[in-house]
Amino acid sequence: MPEKRISIHATRYDPEHDKEPRLQTYDIPFSDESMVVLDALNYIKSHVDGSLSYRWSCRMGICGSCGMMVNGTPKLTCSAFLRDYWPRAVVVQPLNNFPLIRDLVIDMDDFMHKLKSIKPWIIRKQEIPLGAGEHRQTSDQIDEFRQFSECINCMLCYAACPVYGLNNEFLGPAATALARRYNLDSRDEGLKQRLPVLAESEGVWECSFVGECSVVCPKGVDPAKAIQQTKLDTTMRFVLPYGNRE
């Protein structure tokens, strides 16, 4: 019986030698039904072409570093099974809407700047001393923000977002979801510091609610929901009398 094989078309780009990215084809063995796209890339790097560059770390859908375009859809390559594509070829490209550094490696600096701008940490007007004990929360209080805390910063939502593709000044889905995670946290008092970033023209109001960000999220975070809820919150705080705003 002939060996089962699959073709991988991977983006190659060396900024020192290439004017434009190109696809290179690798024909590799596919004998294990548990193989994922990341396994294929690792096989290529280990046995065929050691110069192929890409990011990965945990291989468990937790770190978010192996996000790429797989046959045109943003995916975590550690969760995209080759069996779902075979016998078709698999086209692996860098995530859409980001500058390309090399091969399948994107530049994430823009997102990191946006993430920092929403201050994704607990902000307190007065810090609780370490010796004061736990700052306890009820299960209901945790459930308020639990969904939005699942974000792994994989950037799939930005690659799927048509608004970010047209305007990279847009704050974007993951940053807004993480801002909402902290705004809903009963321990946090940083809403007024985050609100100006969220409410500006390039913040949540730029979103046209296509919803693709939530469709591709591998952790079920639903950033589209976070954006729409934040729109409502910012509107209510604008129309309420100043003294009633939190």
**CATH number of the domain bearing residue 199:** 1.10.1060.10
Q: Are residues 136 and 227 in the same domain?
A: yes
Does residue 240 share a domain with residue 157?
yes
Task: Please tell me the pTM assigned to this model.
Answer: 0.91
> Domain end: 53, 88, 106, which one?
106
Pick the last residue of a domain from 88, 106, 124: 106
Domain count, the chain: 2
Q: Is 39 in the same domain as 72?
A: yes
- Domain stops at, among 106, 141, 170: 106
pLDDT at 238: 65
Same domain, 134 and 20: no
Do 101 and 152 fall into the same domain? no
On whether both 76 and 169 belong to a single domain, the answer is no
Gap between the Cα atoms of 96 and 74, Å rounded: 8
Residue 35 is part of a domain; what is its CATH number? 3.10.20.30
Same domain for 238 and 195: yes
Q: What pLDDT score was predicted for residue 31?
A: 84
Q: Does residue 159 share a domain with residue 90? A: no
- Domain residues for the domain of 230 are 109-244
pLDDT in tens, the chain (246 residues): 678 999 999 999 999 999 999 999 999 999 899 999 999 999 999 999 999 999 999 999 999 999 999 999 999 999 999 999 999 999 999 999 999 999 999 999 999 999 999 999 999 988 878 788 888 899 999 999 999 999 999 999 999 999 999 999 999 999 999 999 999 999 999 999 999 999 998 999 999 999 999 999 999 999 999 999 999 988 877 666 544 444
